[in-house]
Amino acid sequence: MSRILILSDDRMGHLNQSLAFVKYLDLPYDVKSVKFTCKWCKPLTYLLDAVGIKTDKLFSVKIDRKYEMVVGTGSTTAYATKVLAKLLGAKSVAMMLPRGYKYDFDVIFAQSHDNPPKQGNIIEVPANFSYVEPKGIYEAKKESIGIVIGGDNKLFTMSKKMIKSQLDTIVNTYTEHEIAITTSPRTSKEIEEIIEAYAFDYEVIFSKNPINPIPDFLTLCETVFITGDSTSMISEAISYGQSNVVVLPLESQEKNKFTRFVEGLEKAGYLHIFDGTIKSSNKKIDFKKYLKGLSL
């Protein structure tokens, strides 16, 4: 049976996209981390790729068997994916648009908000590949609402005032529902304290209890609210279950790939961006359809 090599940069949001792709193919796989051998090695990969030189001397990945496909997500894995695919006589697959590198992979899955070029090996997808597996961590006792809170990133600031206002609206709207909430690894202490003050029916503060009930929220909750800082969490929500999805916007200085991402999904009917109102949007992406006809 064919076996797939997944290259990881040890970022879960990236690794999960590669894992989702392989799980939809239902093929066995191994995951190996990519480590550059010096601090200048990654910048050098851009130059070598531009002139068509492929060498495995710039990174460390232990390979001890044959693979038919090499899959990577993110810039740290891009060059290694191409190099190892060539050495193994395997297909190369990138799960995000590998900016800065030649787009000469066998297949590239590129998100629409990255405005990918139109070429034969690039398959445009509306969101990150996601594969959701409920864990049975959360069990609703009655009709329920889920809330997923992220945190600051390079483009967004999570305002305490805005989050409290959004939570107040949700609590006042769903007085007859059970409300379940979870934070993420990036949620600040200040935001955690705001959340704890509400005494929600079900509450996960990730810094104290590092579990992930989000797949269960998507299975059981009527509506799931998600802060707009994570394309991964939003992609999961619009690809699984029947929940309506509402994105809670965060403060940003200007339009960016995250805002383009959610605005495009709202326009396509996958979600609603919270604007003081709550609307039903539960259209789901079927990622399997993007695999049809692929010769891998």
CB-based burial label for 122 (10 Å; 0-12, 13-18, 19+): middle
**How many residues belong to the chain?**
296
| 180 belongs to a structural domain | yes
Domain shared by 33 and 121, yes or no: yes
Number of domains present in the structure of the chain: 2
Domain shared by 208 and 119, yes or no: no
Domain shared by 110 and 205, yes or no: no
Domain shared by 148 and 267, yes or no: yes
| 295 belongs to a structural domain | no
Can you give the pTM of this predicted structure? 0.90
- Express as a percent the part of the chain with pLDDT over 70: 99
| 110 belongs to a structural domain | yes
Cα distances from 261 to residues 115, 231, 247, 251, 271, in angstroms, run 11, 8, 11, 15, 11
pLDDT grade for 253, boundaries at 50, 70 and 90: low
Domain shared by 208 and 267, yes or no: yes
64: pLDDT strictly greater than 70: yes
- CATH number of the domain within which 156 lies: 3.40.50.1950
Domain shared by 269 and 217, yes or no: yes
| 133 belongs to a structural domain | no
The mean pLDDT of 94-123, rounded to a whole number, is: 95
234: pLDDT strictly greater than 90: yes
Domain shared by 121 and 191, yes or no: no
1: pLDDT strictly greater than 80: no
Quote the pLDDT of residue 204: 97
Domain that holds residue 265: 144-273
pLDDT digits (tens, 9 = 90+) for 166-186: 999 999 999 999 999 999 998
